[in-house]
Amino acid sequence: MSEETGCEILAKAEYENAGGSIKDRPALAILQAAEASGALVHGEPGWIVEGTAGNTGIGLALAGASRGYRTLVVLADNNSAEKKAALRALGATLLEVPMVPFSNPNNYVHVARRVFEQMKQELGQQNPPVRVILADQWSNAANRAAHYTTTGPEIYAQTNGRVDAFACGVGTGGTLTGVSLFLKSVKPSVRSVLIDPAGSALKSHFECGELASEGSSISEGIGQGRLPENLTRDGFKPDLCLRVTDEEALPLAYDLLWHEGLSIGSSSVINVAGAYKLAKQLGPGHTIVTVLCDHGTRYTSKLSNPDFLRAKNLPVPAWLDPAHPDTAATNDMAHRMLNHALQTEQNK
């Protein structure tokens, strides 16, 4: 993509974090802020409650366990099986609810708040009382601050200040705003670019002043039909908004896997496709940075599932399609080699 566009397209590999995603950064920052305020005490029993698409919950479970806390996660039942398994494996208590719009009182974010209020009341009456916090990544300023103090400075240093644009999708808004605000503080010419998947209303809001959306996306953790406080705080507004569909993004994801050995998650797919689209729009000679939010193995039940992809009318890569001539020929050869190897051993 870089060679084709004449730009240097860089992607920060956030799946290398301990919890496997970019959400480790705000998760740790939220806990540190809670300890600084006295809402939690390091080493003493406490509970963290959060409504999340999964990755923030994983980060909270890891960071919380290392500091003596338990984590309860509320998430929509349409999130990947891999994320749910990871949360349970890390000791988090998991509550699944049906996926409904944010306007519905049974949306996972609202349910998490009600669970938090109930737990705070009940556990606060114990002797000694147990502290409970709601992480509230959507409004918690520590989310944005985590990226302003870590991700942004790292990007600037790792590019030697040559970054011209930072582009990514928005879930809570913490990454786009925190990174953009830092980069603009040291290099005002840097462009902040919102990459919006189909089904999200953010591009419409910033360009037309209304929350309107069309289509849908299999991406998780990005795309909103509302305005998170971390996105709009202090009047933040991206310099440019680009829409990316799954049909545009998935072929690039499979190309990266096949030709470059990069397995990336669904939100990362949208980010890369958006950075590619931005590079073609800006023209040669620019350095564009995005983030790989998590690893593709966290979504194999979707991105590597031919039945799921066909049900969504999305492209299926050749190596997952048993009817594809190349796949059929390869499978036939493999079975012939296996049979030959077994027969050879039997003859011995």
Q: Give the largest CA-CA distance in the chain.
A: 77
Average pLDDT score over residue span 136-140:
96
What was the pLDDT predicted at 244? 96
Alpha-carbon dihedral 166, 167, 170, 173, rounded to 10 degrees: 10
Confidence band for 137, pLDDT divided at 50, 70 and 90: very high
Confidence band for 344, pLDDT divided at 50, 70 and 90: confident
What was the pLDDT predicted at 336? 87
Confidence band for 333, pLDDT divided at 50, 70 and 90: confident
- DSSP 3-state of 253: helix
What was the pLDDT predicted at 328? 76
Return the amino acid letter for 272: V
Q: H helices within the chain, ranges in order?
A: 2-5, 24-37, 55-66, 81-89, 108-124, 141-146, 152-158, 174-186, 202-208, 229-232, 246-260, 266-282, 300-303, 306-311, 325-347
Question: What's the angle, vertex CA 169, arms to CA 177 and CA 225, rounded to 5?
Answer: 95
HSE at residue 245, side-chain half, CA atoms within 13 A, is 10
What was the pLDDT predicted at 20? 94
Domains and CATH numbers, the chain: 2-18+146-303 (3.40.50.1100), 24-134 (3.40.50.1100), 306-343 (no CATH)
Closest by alpha carbon to 9, among 152, 196, 179, 165? 165
Report the DSSP pairing between strands 46-51 and 287-292.
Answer: unpaired
What was the pLDDT predicted at 134? 98
With a threshold of 0.95, does the pTM exceed it?
A: no
What was the pLDDT predicted at 331? 79
* 87-104 b/e (C-beta count within 10 Å ≥ 16 → b): beebebebeebeeeeeee
**276-319 pLDDT per residue, tens:** 999 999 999 999 999 999 999 999 999 989 999 999 999 898 88
Cβ-proximal residues to 344 (8 Å cutoff; 6+ apart), any chain: none
**52-83 pLDDT per residue, tens:** 988 999 999 999 999 999 999 999 999 889 99
Asked if residue 22 lies in contact with residue 294, where contact means CB atoms within 8 angstroms, the answer is yes
Residue 329 has pLDDT above 90, yes or no: no
Residue 39 has pLDDT above 90, yes or no: yes
**What spatial distance separates the first Cα and last Cα of the chain, rounded to whole Å?**
52
Question: What's the angle, vertex CA 340, arms to CA 336 and CA 345, rounded to 5?
Answer: 155
Average pLDDT score over residue span 187-205:
96
- Cis previous bond, 105, omega within 30: no
Closest by alpha carbon to 55, among 175, 203, 183? 175
Asked if residue 198 lies in contact with residue 243, where contact means CB atoms within 8 angstroms, the answer is yes
Report the DSSP beta bridge partners of residue 264. Answer: 295
Extract the tokens encoding 123. 């556990």
12: annotated active-site residue? no
- Residue of 23, 83, 120, 302 marked catalytic: 23
Asked if residue 201 lies in contact with residue 249, where contact means CB atoms within 8 angstroms, the answer is no
Provide DSSP, 176-228.
HHHHHHHHHHH-TTPEEEEEEETT--HHHHHHHSS----S-----S---SS--
Query: Residue 130 has what DSSP assignment?
Result: -
- More confident call, 303 vs 176: 176
CA distance 324 to 254: 15
What was the pLDDT predicted at 340? 86
Mean pLDDT value across the chain: 94
Residue 129, Cβ neighbours under 10 Å: how many? Answer: 11
- More confident call, 303 vs 181: 181
**150-170 pLDDT per residue, tens:** 999 999 999 999 999 999 999
Confidence band for 267, pLDDT divided at 50, 70 and 90: very high
Cβ-proximal residues to 144 (8 Å cutoff; 6+ apart), any chain: 173, 174, 177, 178, 181, 230, 233
Which of 20-24, 174-178, 296-300, 344-348 shows the lowest per-residue confidence on average (mean pLDDT)?
A: 344-348
Residue 8 has pLDDT above 90, yes or no: yes
What was the pLDDT predicted at 229? 95
Asked if residue 194 lies in contact with residue 170, where contact means CB atoms within 8 angstroms, the answer is yes
HSE at residue 310, side-chain half, CA atoms within 13 A, is 6
